[in-house]
Structures are given as structure tokens and as C-alpha cells.
Structure 1
Amino acid sequence: MTELRTAVSRLRRELAGHPSEFPDRGIAEDELAALDAMAASGTPEIPRLRRSLLLVAGAIGSVSALAPGLRAVRIAVDLFGEPPRHS
């Protein structure tokens, strides 16, 4: 949980300080807030974590300055393992 909260907090700060506006910035901010809330709850749902990660990646993926922070969030989400597969 600590790794996720730390990574999300870092990326939120980097995004807030990034000077460029881009079309999906609001989506990234909303999903980072959702990731932070899930981490704070103590029992996040893995599929929801992964969905939020995908939305953040899609929203800021082309902003190279934010790539290291995004990578840290992905690594933190990966620590929770794979979501269960449904048959």
C-alpha cells in the first residue's frame, strides 16, 4: 500500500507542476485521485486499480516528462498481482 500511495502522490505532484495543458489532463487527475483513495482504503480492488492505471496511462502516456512517475505507479499496481481470471 505504501508504495502505491507514494507513487501516486509523486505523479500527482508532477502532473500538477507540469506546465502544459493537454486534452485528457482532467481524466488523469481524477483517476490518480481514485487510485489514492483506493490505496487509502486499505483494500483496493485489483481490477479497479488496473483500470485506473490504464486510464492514467492513456491520458498522460504521450507526456514524456511524466513517464518515470507513471512507471512507478505501474510498478506499484503490479505489486498487487494479477486480477482473477473469469471463465
Structure 2
Amino acid sequence: MTIPSEADNGLTHGPGTLAMAKTSDPDSAGSQFYIVPSDSTPSWLDGEHTVFGQVISGQEHVNAISDVDTGSSDVPIHDVIIEGAWVN
């Protein structure tokens, strides 16, 4: 099952943005998402990926995950375990 694109919803990427990942097919979003770290403003993703949320607390944890050492294919060398998350 995939989710239709809503990339034209007027929301833009910035630190703490929560958005859906997809392939080159605009309606291919599924269960993958990403959160933008504080040191990034990927405006080239605006209008391409659906922004649907914003981190309001705990951005330091997003930044810490973004800063872990990675190996091949940009995969973390050590497991990153998220023990909980809350949505309001």
C-alpha cells in the first residue's frame, strides 16, 4: 500500500521537519519517513516529498542520531535504537 503525494501542501523543509520518503514515483510513499536535523535546510526537497509534521521537543535527539558514525551506504556502524516516540 502506498500513500498519494501531498507535496504541494505548502509546507517546506527545515530543521525538525517530518516528511515521507518515496521513490521517483510521486505516489510511492509508504512506511518510510525522515526528520531533518538542525544543521540542514534541504529546500530542494520542497514540493518533492510530503511534509506532514514538525519536531516540537527533543530535536537534540534527532541531531545526535544524525551525527552517528556510518559505514557503507551511509548505514550506522552501531545500531541506533529509538525506545519511544509520542505523537500529539
TM-score (norm 2): 0.28
TM-score (norm 1): 0.29
**Hey, which of these two has a bigger chunk of helix by percent?**
1
Larger RCO, structure (CA 8 Å, separation 6 or more): 1
**Hey, which of these two has a bigger chunk of strand by percent?**
2
Whichever of the two has the greater Rg, that structure is 2
